Amino acid sequence: MALRTWLLTLLVAAALSIANHAEAAPEGLRTIPTRHSFTELVERLEAAVERHGMAVVAAASASRGAAARGVKIAGNTVVMVFRNDYAVRMLKASIPAGIEAPLRYYVTENADGTATLSWRTPGSVFAPYGSPALDEMARELDVVFEQIGRDAGQ
Q: What letters, b where the CB count within 10 A reaches 16 and e where it falls short, cover 94-112? A: beebeebbbbbbbbbbeee
Q: Nearest-CA neighbor of 82 among 70, 68, 67, 97?
A: 97
pTM above 0.85, yes or no: no
Is residue 24 scored above 90 in pLDDT?
no
71-90 pLDDT per residue, tens: 999 999 999 999 999 999 99
For residues 3 and 46, the model is more confident at 46
55-65 pLDDT per residue, tens: 999 999 999 99
Q: Where are the alpha helices (DSSP H) in 31-131?
A: 38-51, 62-68, 84-93, 122-126
